[in-house]
Amino acid sequence: MSEEGRVPSPAALPAEATAAPEEKKGKELERDKLPPIVSAGASASAGLDRGSKGQVSTFSSCVSAVSQKKESAENRSSPAHLVFPNIKNVRDLPPTCLDVRQKQRISMDALSSEMKAPVLPEPVLPVQPKTMKDFQEDVEKVKSSGDWKAVHDFYLTTFDSFPELNAAFKKDASASFNTIEDSGINTKFVNAVYDTLLNTPQDIQKTVLKGIINSLLREWKGPRTKDDLRAYFILLQNPQFNNTSTYVIYAHLLRQIATLVEADHHFLVHWFKKLSQKRFKQLVERLLQFISLRLFPAKPEEFPPIAKCSWWIPSASKVLALLNTANDLVHPPLIPYIDFYNSTLDHIDLMEEYHTWQSFGNSHRFSFCQYPFVISIAAKKIIIQRDSEQQMISIARQSLVDKVSRRQRPDMNMLFLNMKVRRTHLVSDSLDELTRKRADLKKKLKVTFVGEAGLDMGGLTKEWFLLLIRQIFHPDYGMFTYHKDSYCHWFSSFKCDNYSEFRLVGILMGLAVYNSITLDIRFPPCCYKKLLSPPIVPSDQNTPVGICSVTTDDLCQIMPELAHGLSELLSYEGNVEEDFYSTFQVFQEEFGIIKSYNLKPGGDKIPVTNQNRKEYVQLYIDFLLNKSIYKQFAAFYYGFHSVCASNALMLLRPEEVEILVCGSPELDMHALQRSTQYDGYAKTDLTIRYFWDVVLGFPLDLQKKLLHFTTGSDRVPVGGMADLNFKISKNETSTNWLPIAHTCFNQLCLPPYKSKKDLKQKLIIGISNSEGFGLE
């Protein structure tokens, strides 16, 4: 096969490799040495590494130089010297990822003007070869003539260089398009060209890959122009990179994008967010597949040895981080955050990744914990559980050593957090016990109800959680207000002398995460955002905690009517001051007394106007969700973190904390059927077949009621339905009886109903009227 008809071999070396031995050796050592990943505060000259000390081949040693000049109508030719730039000639590289341990994260929108990329003069672009209409007409002609020459020439010309890419796809070759809001790219044309590419003959596809190799091999000096960024943006969308045979080229494209300066990333992020959902998701899935196949290749011989391409995964992770940032900038997001999860990572040594991150941060070695958005909630739960187990074991071991050193007899009870409470004084006893045993909070929890025989094998612990949560969140208790419009609880703003019971609720949530208990709590999402503000308790006790930026969207999740009213105020077209007659002052009822609070100094004398209404709304929301409940939430925050004080929390999104505490709302009743255990029944018994026919046919609200009836919560643990250990037991009673449930053991007791109709009727009555029946 001729050179023009095949992809350059990865093993081939460029002609420049024939340099003098000593000079060649020195240059290669300098060029191939991989600098480490840097933290945000470290030198910006660090590169991408996964911790390997071995040499890493450059692009020139992975793909052969394309030495022959390409023939075209314009007599274009490839550069005479196609050598990957020596590392010393490449400008300083940016941090590959902000350390998630930093208290503040730099917003892509908040870059100062000094950080923005300098606007360089754009080179004169070649004449645009074809319009989209011309291209589509050429493709149509192929169907009748079978002659691909015109299409081949288009691809040959377009992908020959970065200027040619811009000439083909830029909306207006004479315009600079130096703004973040408009990439200046004809997206429809790009999509049409790529959609057609995969259906073209192999020689055309190879021509495109050769052109990309040419472009990436050219030596770049100084900052990139916006045309260069446009070229990267276009090339990244190439569907050919789904094929593992193109991964060497794809890896070098990712590396060049990953090592752009932060200001260039700023532009790319905003361009990414303008992509369609379909194209955006394709980019994410392609990168996740690239990482998965590099970790676990189906054919290892397809790729260079891992020691020589240790930068592949860090580069891909960095580009994924740009896409994740773009996704977070869009409301609603282009794709759900769970679409960034890479389930392949569930099968690697996660604790090694975690300890690497703990030890090195971003300064020396790569860890997936630097990019927590790719780690699934199931994997994060494993990290948190193992981290907590290690802390539990460490504390229990220390207690044992202390006993032995004092020549005292060891007691197995010292290895547990033992709670002894009376049912009649549940809240006060629990508070006293947890306060007295503060040093034992990270030990395994065991609960005993005074005056009752029984060994806690998990059922008593769950019952304690259920009873305590139900009592604390009861409206008569006054700690939390239930909002019927949003079906959630929020902190009462009533002032009191002691906020210890709010601390108790925080401890309960922390213990639930530590002991893998799913709680039936309904807090709005912003509660979990506040709980991670900051994710690590500050050493300075005067530092505010639980304070986060809040918007009308956050308020809408709690008080939708009030949020709607404030939105109406913002969009009101009349005279706000005259028509609303409001000031920067709010009123709240506390124990029957109306109290007023100024939103700013002298707020009672400052009218709300068309000019300052945005400030008024923001201060009002901040008062309701932050300032008016600060002491209550601070106690709650410190309670939670007294149990869950772990760096692993920094890996979590607020939504993921909610799932760890309350479980997932996504039900899969088929999975529940597969994992259900039976006592007195077999899964082939007629009653059981009737049961599943009825349950699988239930609407979602009845399925949730069934789950709540049998487990105490209508949500699913992080591990899925299998983690419920759901059991159906035969209840040898009259078939006139309703089903009963032991929520502490996730057990449903089902009489042997003789017909599906009778079972369905009794089951619906039971699960729809169980509230207030008490716990079994």
Dig out the tokens for 250 from the structure.
Answer: 């794809």
Query: What's the chain's Rg over C-alpha atoms?
Result: 32
**Calpha distance 533→103 (Å, rounded):** 8
Secondary structure (DSSP) of 75-121? -----S---PPPGGGSPPPPPSS--TTSSS---GGG--TTTSPP-PP
Beta-carbon contacts of residue 402 (< 8 Å; ≥ 6 apart): none
Beta-carbon contacts of residue 448 (< 8 Å; ≥ 6 apart): 418, 419, 420, 421, 454, 456, 460
Other Cβ atoms closer than 10 A to 632? 23
**CB contact at 8 A, 443 and 415:** yes
Residue 326 class from Cβ within 10 Å (0-12 exposed, 13-18 middle, 19+ buried)? buried
Q: What are the start-end ranges of the H helices in 601-682?
A: 613-622, 630-643, 654-662, 669-675
**CB contact at 8 A, 155 and 207:** yes
**CB contact at 8 A, 636 and 491:** yes
**Calpha distance 635→492 (Å, rounded):** 13
Secondary structure (DSSP) of 176-245? ---SSS---B-HHHHHHHHHHHTTS-HHHHHHHHHHHHHHHHS---SSPPHHHHHHHHHHTT-GGGGSGG
β-pairing verdict for 747-750 and 416-421? unpaired
Q: What is the sign of the dihedral through the CA atoms of 298, 285, 320 and 215? A: positive
**Calpha distance 535→529 (Å, rounded):** 9
**Calpha distance 247→236 (Å, rounded):** 12
Residue 291 class from Cβ within 10 Å (0-12 exposed, 13-18 middle, 19+ buried)? buried
Residue located via tokens 């995460």: 513
Asked about 744 being catalytic, the answer comes back as: yes
Closest to 384 in 3D by CA, of 639, 635, 659: 659
Beta-carbon contacts of residue 230 (< 8 Å; ≥ 6 apart): 165, 166, 169, 170, 177, 183, 184, 185
Q: Residue 475 has what DSSP assignment? A: G
What's the maximum distance between 2 C-alpha atoms anywhere in the chain? Answer: 96
Other Cβ atoms closer than 10 A to 407? 6
Q: Residue 717 has what DSSP assignment? A: -
Partners of 420 in the β-ladder: 448
Pick the catalytic residue from 97, 369, 556, 744: 744
Instruction: Kindly list the catalytic residues.
Output: 744
